[in-house]
Every structure is written in structure tokens, then in C-alpha cells.
Amino acid sequence: MQPDFDCVVVGAGLVGAAQALALRRYDLSVLVVEAHQTPSGPGDRDVRGLALSPPSKQFIEVLGVWPLLSTQTVPIRHIHVSDQGRFGFTHLNSDDIGIDALGYVCPADHFHQAIRNVAIEECEVWWGTTLTSINLGSEVAEICLESDSGPVRITTRLVIGADGMYSRVREAAGLVAHMRDYRQSAIVANVDVQYPVPETAFERFTGNGPLALLPLPGGRHVTVRCCPIDEVDRIVGLSDKQYLAELEKGFGHRFGTFSDAGRRRSHKLVLQFSDRIVGHRVALVGAAANKIHPNGAQGLNLGLRDAAALAECLNAIRSVDGDIGDLDRLSGFAAERQADHNDVIRFTDTMAQVFVSKIPCLGLVRNLAMLVTDISPLSKRWLIGKATGLSIKSPRVDPQVIR
């Protein structure tokens, strides 16, 4: 049976759009389904910064998106990690491992707009369309969709869930996800600082959770403040002056005065992971597969590695005339991604718990560990590898562009 599409990607966010573009590089026919309506404008310009790892930059280059982003990114060549009120600290530098940058910060709206525009050029995208059901047949999957124009049914070899932590694809396919609530939220806001430090990201662990400060193009900075869930209403309700004063105190006043606070956004922090990321004619990528703590800005980069690996896997299956929706063949993708998923989950979850723990003497142990890391080249290389994804064997997508 000849399906309407080789693949249907549900979700046109960053990972979903990247997934569709990666599949087009291998000349697979792709439909992208997105519940939101077609974006009509630039939206809110004062948005969070996204930290992209070096492997993510390479992947985005292959997709043809990086030229649209390069002038809107700031390279991160230094990372400073410290523990408030204690002696521990670690400095990480790109020169430590001989690379140009440890990462790149790009405003989220620019990334969304750039990758969306390329996806619209190269893929069929149905906006304002929701998934209602999936019938997973032996040869094809039949998908029922709903839009303003009414219901429609299409067939595909493979359904890819890139529709976030509340994935309809995951639910429809009967794939099970487990969630643990950190009882924390991340409050994100853009600010100006009096004494900026160029090309440097700061992460500071406090008794209430980590603080992060990342430079943005144009001199702005994005701050991420993690706090207990019962503190969210108080913090969101602060005046800008009060909020900025608390940020200054948290960072130890090293940046001078904080000013011009942008809109504050609160994001609940959870760990969610799926028992399986593949099923018969179904695969999950990004937050549909795993939603993790923002420590180290790992989530988006993990999702982009999922997208690259799945595209590579499907091309390999098709090259031997295989069925790209066959569960046995998709299991190779799941097995390949398992180690990366487990490592990132373990790393971010351990960081989330160790740096807010009240266990006596644990603060001394973690600060000693930070100092040892700072003076040990091997420890630095290990930490940089974890923080940047460079320790992971990154999948490669053929740079051939299918038009």
C-alpha cells in the first residue's frame, strides 16, 4: 500500500521542524502537523535565550538554518560555575579542549522564525491542525486530523511525535511516560547588567536553586532563576526593582546594577521520561520522549540529537529497502539513543538534587569537587564533554539539500 507520506511529524516546534528538514535531506516525503495557527508576526521580542551546543550548531548548519542565525548568536567561550556563600567554583574555557566555543546563545524567537521559514519552503506544513487518533496498521498508519476545514484522514509509514511533554502521539500509541515533580519552577527574564562579561555564561547555585546568566545579542542578558514552587507567586509578584535587587544579591553583586527587566515567565520543572521511545510505526523525539531539568541547558540539544539520529536511522533502513515504520528496525534508533538519554537525565537530575540538598557536609563535598574540577584538566574535559554534548557520538545527516 502506497501511503500519502513517508513520515508525518506532529509538532512544528524547534525539534519538530529540525526533524522534518533532516528527513527531507534524505528525500523522504514529510508532512508537518501543528496545532497552532500560522504565526502572523515576530511576536514578543524579549524572549529567552537558547543555548546551542557545538554539535547542535553543526546539525543546524547541515539543515541550512545557521546562516539565518549566525548574526543573532553570541558565542560562549567561558562558563563560570559557583556556589553561593561557599568557596567552590569552576571555570570552563573553550581553549581547555581546543574548540572555538562551548556553545552559542540565540534568542528563541529568531531561532523559531528561521527554522520555521526554511521548513515552510522545503516541507508541507498544516497549521491549526490537531491529531485526534492513530490507527497503527501492518503496512501504514492511518492518522485522523481535525482543522478549521473539518476532519481529514491520511496515511504514512511513520508517525513522529515532536509534540512536547504532553504528547498526543505518545498517548495515542500507548507509550508510557513517568514524571517526577521537582517542586521547583524556573523564572526567566531578560535584563541589562552594569558590568557585563563578554562571551561568558554564569551558573550559580544557591540554597533555593540555581541561577543562570547568559549573554544575548545586542548587550541584553537572559536570567534563569530556579526556585521552590511555593516561592513562585511571591517572586512573580515582586516589582521590577525588587526582582532585580534579588538577582543582584544572588549573583553576589559582581555585575553591578541590574536594570530594565523584561517580562517574567514561569516554567514548572519536572523530570519526565518514556519507557519506550518507539512503537510500531511510531517514534518520539525531544520533549515527547524526555523532559529534563534545565541544568546545563541540555534539553533542546538532546532533542536535536534525537532528530539527527532518527533521520540517519530511517535513511539506513530505506537504503536496504526496509520498512521505516517496522518496530524491529526502529528499535535500533531507540537502542542508539538510550545511552545519551540516560547520561543526560542522570547528569541533570543529580545536579538538580545535589545543589539544593540540605544534607550536612554535602556542601563541603560538592565545593571540594568543584575546586578539583577547576584544577584538573581531565575533570574539566569530562565536564565540558557533558555540558556541551561533545562526549556523545553525534549522529550525522548528509548535507545534500533536496529541493
As given in the structure block, the three cell numbers for residue 253 are: 553583586
Answer for the pair 47, 111: CB distance below 8 angstroms, yes or no.
no
Q: How far apart are CA 98 and CA 95, in angstroms?
A: 5
Q: Which pLDDT does position 401 carry in this prediction?
A: 44
- The candidate with the shortest Cα–Cα distance to 402, out of 125, 63, 111, 61, is 63
As given in the structure block, the three cell numbers for residue 324 are: 521505516
106-141 residue pLDDT tens: 998 899 999 999 999 999 999 999 999 999 998 999
Lookup result for grid cell 545536579: 351
Domains and CATH numbers, the chain: 5-179+269-388 (3.50.50.60)
The parts of the chain modelled with pLDDT lower than 70 are 1, 40-46, 84-89, 296, 353-403
E-strand ranges in 46-88 read 49-52, 74-76, 78-83
Q: How far apart are CA 163 and CA 166, in angstroms?
A: 7
Answer for the pair 33, 49: CB distance below 8 angstroms, yes or no.
no
Q: Which pLDDT does position 156 carry in this prediction?
A: 97
Q: Which pLDDT does position 88 carry in this prediction?
A: 60
Q: What is the mean pLDDT of the chain?
A: 85
Q: Which pLDDT does position 62 carry in this prediction?
A: 94
Instruction: Tell me which amino acid residue 96 is.
Output: D
Q: Which pLDDT does position 349 carry in this prediction?
A: 83
161-210 residue pLDDT tens: 999 999 999 999 999 999 999 888 999 999 999 999 999 999 887 777 77
Instruction: Tell me which amino acid residue 201 is.
Output: A
